[in-house]
Amino acid sequence: MEYRPLGRTGLKVSSLCLGTMQFGWTADEALSQRILSAAFEAGVNFIDTADIYTRWVEGNPGGVAESIIGSWIKSANIPRDQLVIATKVRGRTGKGPNDEGLTRYHIFNAVEASLRRLGTDYLDLYQTHSPDESVPIDETLSALDDLVRQGKVRYIGCSNYPAWRLTEALWTSKFLHLSRFESSQPHYNLVRRAEFEREHAEVCRHHQIAVIPYSPLANGFLTGKYRRDQTPESARLRSATRYFNDRNWALLDLMERIGRETGGQTISQIALAWLLSNPLVTSPIIGPRSLEQLADNLGAVGVQLGEDHKRLLDEASQWKD
């Protein structure tokens, strides 16, 4: 497993991050713990979750993924200092009027609940899941800074922030001498490039922000399981259909060919290798719901795309204003 610095921090994280949105959804607790163990044994030290995972599943109150991780750390006797645990705050975690958002009140309540579920007394990375337009950015950053000073959080980051909001947050942190966002989680993959590359990428490059892309396989589209004449049932089919067009079908054909030419890599491994070839990318977030999918994802580590193959992928997926 390769390891990369998490932005300006001293943390070194695995080049693939294990996402956990599937825990308690498409993977039950027993399978989730097997996936965690297999990933850890393969060298994955970076685990990403959120306090709302997987609240959208009927009967799931949220916090289930965090609880599964906490149970695994305890039962498997995993040394806490060998993991980099990241979770998120923003979404609704209860029924009260203050049980969501990025207010000081909610952040302080939410972090205690996450720490309890994860069975740890600190978080390596605490991320705002999305912006909260109803709360001044200085209130949010001040609350997060207090958690860093208290030792409950080591570093802070953000997810789903447009470039201008990330810039606003960085400027506010600098002006008020507060902890700053050291990482950003954009929605970024071969068939969804413009959102990150148009402006966000340059902000991250200039300020040395770690980039942790989510949905690197485009809701399963970039695994190749969906083809022009093949649409299997899947929990993420509805999300994947947005990519069903002739341009993207041609891209899958190209990725399949490149995989054959580079040693028999799968389409998903080529998609992950393309992200890992970007020096801005720290660690794409994979979300395997089986041990077979995990093994396939791990196979992307160390895959080197040649200049010609990289150029072909860039051209085939290029966005235009």
Mean pLDDT, contiguous 10-residue spans, the chain (321 residues): 96 98 95 98 98 89 95 97 98 93 98 98 98 98 98 98 98 98 98 97 98 96 86 69 92 97 95 98 97 98 95 96 74
State how far the Cα of 265 lies from the Cα of 80, in Å rounded to an integer: 34
Residues 6+ apart with CB under 8 A from 176: 138, 141, 142
* % of the chain residues with pLDDT over 70: 98
What is the C-alpha radius of gyration for the chain, rounded to an integer number of angstroms?
A: 19
State how far the Cα of 157 lies from the Cα of 168, in Å rounded to an integer: 14
In the prediction, which pLDDT does 241 show? 85
Structure tokens at 270: 């080529």
In the prediction, which pLDDT does 236 show? 64
What burial class does residue 236 get, using C-beta atoms within 10 Å of its C-beta: 0-12 exposed, 13-18 middle, 19+ buried? middle
Strand duo 3-5 + 12-14: pairing: antiparallel
In the prediction, which pLDDT does 60 show? 84
Query: For the segment 223-274, what is each residue's pLDDT rounded down to a tens digit?
Result: 998 888 776 666 666 778 889 999 999 999 999 999 999 989 999 999 999 9
**Residues that are catalytic:** 53
What burial class does residue 183 get, using C-beta atoms within 10 Å of its C-beta: 0-12 exposed, 13-18 middle, 19+ buried? buried
Half-sphere exposure of 187 (CA within 13 A, CB side): 11
Q: Tally helices (H) and strands (E) across the chain.
A: 12, 10
In the prediction, which pLDDT does 229 show? 76
Would you kindly state where each structural domain of the chain is located, as residue ranges? 3-218+278-289
**Right CATH for 3-218+278-289 from 3.40.50.200, 3.20.20.100, 3.30.2130.10, 3.30.2320.20:** 3.20.20.100
pTM score of the predicted model: 0.96
